[in-house]
Chain A
């Protein structure tokens, strides 16, 4: 059934909100922003055509406040809601509420979200569809249960405890020793409860030296399922991705196999809109295991757009309007390599969050660079939300080319003052010989951290100049000092 999107409410903030508004502007679709109290002067608010205040700082009363958001859509004349990523993006109840309110939900159906949101059922479905899965145990409530499973299935440490309705690394705890099991279980359940409102967890064998490969899928309501090839998201810290690339460095045959497997699974479950099938790849055995389906637009979708020339958000809008996919599988011909780094407001040595005001922000320009910015100069990074404020992408004819562009982007014009960012770490990683040669696993950062940190470049002329300026400012204000 064809329907027309007249105005889109973006139920998000920062980077995802801005990203979705870009495509809406391309298609001349007006947008509505929602915002919490500390976000009243945020970038996404000013990008939108209409802005509506939905509550105070804590997400539970603002960006997770489903009723307020639907009200905002209705009173702003929006007839569609895009959830972005994070917050309500994988909340089936919210999707249903949106539809029940007579609005268009830009995303997969609530049924599919619910099905794939339950990690245990998702795994069962994968297994039934002949998609390999990681050995694991479900419905876990006690440490004894875990120990028994490990003994019976001859599973060796490490293992990982995960929130059933999780994602994004939250509610995930790795366990290396028998005596850690109890404490880890408590923590995982509590984090799960806090992040997803559900404390159900599952336990799996942890794949060592694993590589994280995921396949981007787009599908329409006419059972057309097309994969847009895979991405590699192996580089993570604390189980959260910080560098992604497309395609992966796997052998071509394996790439084909993974992509086709993913498309088959998504067709089987009747997927619509954009989504991702995540796999863990074990180099030792050259095997891949299904991890989960992300029923939403992902942070790293941009690199797939760069290698295919497609606009995934635009495809989501098409599908939401009931149109068929604008492309067929054979039309998708990736012809370059792309890389993305996530600029989080974090200490690059400790990964501790770095809240504060971005006092100066200059983004890199030049050939083959794409920047996605969720904030403007002068804005605060508030402690309540995700610390991601900028995505930096680079593309090139091949991987080496893309790495060169990324190096230039990170060392050239990029300048952020006021908060610490991951930039020094990211630069150190993309220059590391092992990363350059494609020899890395999900543990790369923890294994090489001291080495990476020692590679942080100590100074730039601009930093030096600002130090001198700081001195001139202080002496101009305070006059000659007694220590002189």
Chain B
């Protein structure tokens, strides 16, 4: 859809563009190597919104930044991937494909970047190879940041191959955390596998992804130094959330050690779980003697731009405000914070959040992986489930007892089960019994190998009870790419076509592959409301028109449109009448409220259900030869069982098989709709 926003950036001096779409991976790598100082990736259009605003930032508002980004001199803009895709179709009703098209148009100089979860892609389960190949090749993105929550590099292979074959830039990420087992040697091992997978260091960049914001400056400086010692030519891109409050010095330490690109967002977007402020980073780096490639006046304008719309999203912000150094214990990633709070709020257990975070801090010492999607969801659902169960069964005291039990076991007894009392042991052996299926799948290797080995046997006993030994025996060390068989794409496409009653577009099909249920509801929404999510300003999108005379103006196909509210009537029998002028034409919209009485019309669904082929009136039930038919009558295949009349044409309804009339659902002379259930025939066996 054409849109009209044009912003002429002022104060832009010189051309800051040093990379642009269409350059080969090798050229991009070289351009960054050749650059004086460091450059920036803006996460404003994706991770910033995900971390502090539940991914609700609409493209309608974000697109105002695009013309500025176009001249700002960014390395790239992360505009795609992560949970933005899923929340887009579920809540904003925007498709990632139309966002990408729009941004390409508005910022043609900027490399667009996605975040992809190796085999889990933009969904929450491992997809087989053919789905990954198909979906990756349908998405027009320049920089593919790919991470594994297990740091299982094998899982990245298909994404890597497909992206590199297309000539796009592959940016493998190592998931970073601070823990006694997460040593330099461990990370070097991961980097070694990455370099082997990608055939060297000249066509990739390495991302260090500190998705929770837990790396203290000394630790990150040391890690970058170590990697640079072993791979001096490898470009390092540092991604870090601000949750612990130490982001600026940590970023600086990484740059000092040799990182060439860091992630930032507009200062006006920064809250508590996102990324460091772009203007602050530039100032701090320059003061410390590191040059930042940035058109600062334009960056200042972009910051100003954000202030114009960010006020519409207060409702989406997390109720827990403020930095939280405790993140170094519970490690919930910035991107998962707001959605966790949202779920806690909806589930009515917001008050239990401190306990859940505490349990997470202990849990992640029992099962080792990285708390990032889908791992963060597994941790969240498992831990919040356990806490809720204790709260429900034993109240607040129970929750306290749970924490005491776990902290004794983990922190005092060094996870030595034998050191616990028999009662405590029994309780631990029940801890994961009701854990979610995904947790149990993780234990048996469905997602891949865990980064530093499988959890202790008692975890299996606790999760699987008597079956625990069988489960361990069945556990696999293979990557899901090796264990999953290809999906039948033609069949999936067919099921989508049937669900929407027409041939789906390629884009709709990819959406459906990722999130079948939500994609269907998205397609239905858009068929009903068209481009409303793209053209309506955010206040109207959320609240509608509130006062008589209030107008909303937008453009469609380059032509102006105007909707003006005349009146909203009082509710009467479940209907509210809204009167609006739509391009000067007065229109009345009867809107059914949730209290509206629904007239239930039974539809023909099952095999024996005989539906009306057309709208019409039932003028005969039965046929002239035998007269009217009744429930219990035996009928033959091909025999006429009813006849509909519409516009003076007769339409005979014939029995599809031999059978017995089980039910007659209409009366003579009823007006019926197409598809309405007329009668039910029981097949004779």
Contact = CB atoms under 8 A, between A and B. Distances in A.
Given A353-B616, A465-B583, A170 B648 contact: yes
B528 interface: yes
A352 B529 contact: no
B582 interface: yes
Interface string A316-331: 0000000000000000
Contacts of A238: 649
A480 B91 CA distance: 12
A466 B652 CA distance: 38
B614 A469 contact: no
Contact of A466 (B56, B543, B582, B613): B582
Interface stretch (A41-49, A98-106, A190-198, A335-343): A190-198
A465 B580 CA distance: 13
Nearest to A467: B530
Contacts of A360: 587
A432 to B, nearest CB: 20
A360 B552 CA distance: 22
A386 B647 contact: yes
Interface of A is mostly: helix
B532 interface: yes
A47 B394 CA distance: 80
A472 B532 contact: yes
A352 B532 contact: no
Q: In this complex, which of B544, B559, B565 has the most chain A Cβ atoms within 10 angstroms of its Cβ?
A: B544
A157 to B, nearest CB: 19
A353 B90 contact: no
Given A354-B615, A476-B568, A464 B531 contact: yes
B563 interface: yes
B426 interface: no
A323 B91 CA distance: 74
B523 to A, nearest CB: 13
A341 B582 CA distance: 30
Contacts of B413: none
B617 interface: yes
Interface in B54-90: 56, 90
Contact of A464 (B530, B593, B647, B674): B530
B591 A473 contact: yes
Contact of B556 (A464, A470, A472, A473): A464
Contacts of B556: 461, 464-465, 468
A477 B624 contact: no
A430 interface: no
B578 interface: yes
A476 B529 contact: no
Contacts of B557: 461, 464
A15 B563 CA distance: 35
B223 interface: no
A350 B589 contact: no
B499 interface: no
Contact of B674 (A350, A385, A465, A466): A350
Contacts of B650: 187, 190-191, 194
Interface in B529-556: 529-532, 535-536, 540-546, 552, 554, 556
Contacts of B419: none
B671 A467 contact: no
B196 interface: no
A383 B582 contact: no
A195 B540 contact: no
Contacts of B671: 383
A366 interface: no
Contact of B646 (A353, A478, A480): A353
Contacts of A463: 530
A474 interface: yes
Contact of A472 (B90, B563, B593): B563
A109 to B, nearest CB: 27
A87 B576 CA distance: 42
Contacts of A386: 647-648
B542 A474 contact: no
Interface in A380-406: 383, 385-387
Nearest to B652: A187
B207 to A, nearest CB: 32
A467 B529 contact: yes
Contacts of A479: 543-544
Interface string A340-358: 0000000000101111000
A472 B580 contact: yes
Nearest to A168: B648
Contacts of B561: 465, 468
A350 B651 CA distance: 13
A155 B568 CA distance: 68
B530 A472 contact: no
A476 B554 contact: no
A174 to B, nearest CB: 13
Given A350-B674, A476-B578, A467 B528 contact: yes
Interface in A184-220: 186-187, 190-191, 194-195
Nearest to A385: B647
Q: In this complex, which of A191, A461, A477, A479 has the most chain B Cβ atoms within 10 angstroms of its Cβ?
A: A477
A467 B614 contact: no
Nearest to A476: B544
Interface string B321-342: 0000000000000000000000
Contacts of B617: 383
B315 to A, nearest CB: 8
A184 B328 CA distance: 81
A238 B651 CA distance: 12
A479 B543 CA distance: 5
B418 to A, nearest CB: 50
B531 A467 contact: yes
Contacts of B540: 472, 475
A472 B624 contact: no
Interface in B585-633: 587, 589, 591, 593-594, 613-617, 624
Nearest to B561: A465
B647 A476 contact: no
Contacts of B544: 472-479
Contact of B614 (A353, A468, A474): A353
A484 interface: yes
Contacts of A461: 556-557, 559
B532 A467 contact: yes
Interface in A426-484: 459, 461, 463-480, 483-484
Q: In this complex, which of A190, A465, A480 has the most chain B Cβ atoms within 10 angstroms of its Cβ?
A: A465
Contacts of A355: 615
B317 to A, nearest CB: 15
A31 B469 CA distance: 95
Q: In this complex, which of B541, B556, B565 has the most chain A Cβ atoms within 10 angstroms of its Cβ?
A: B556
A474 B615 contact: no
Q: In this complex, which of B540, B580, B582 has the most chain A Cβ atoms within 10 angstroms of its Cβ?
A: B582
Contacts of B541: 475, 484
Nearest to B571: A477
A469 B535 CA distance: 11
Nearest to B559: A461
A459 B615 CA distance: 25
Contacts of A474: 544, 578, 589, 591
A484 B525 CA distance: 12
Given A468-B535, A470-B589, A387 B90 contact: no
Contact of B545 (A194, A353, A472, A478): A472
The 7 closest A-B pairs by CB, nearest first: A467-B530, A476-B544, A475-B544, A473-B589, A352-B614, A471-B532, A477-B591
26 contacts: A170-B649, A186-B624, A187-B650, A191-B648, A352-B615, A355-B615, A387-B647, A461-B557, A461-B559, A464-B556, A465-B556, A465-B561, A467-B532, A469-B589, A471-B529, A472-B545, A473-B580, A473-B591, A474-B544, A475-B540, A475-B543, A475-B544, A476-B565, A476-B578, A477-B578, A483-B90
Given A471-B528, A473-B589, A477-B593, 6 more contacts: A350-B674, A352-B615, A461-B557, A469-B589, A473-B578, A476-B546
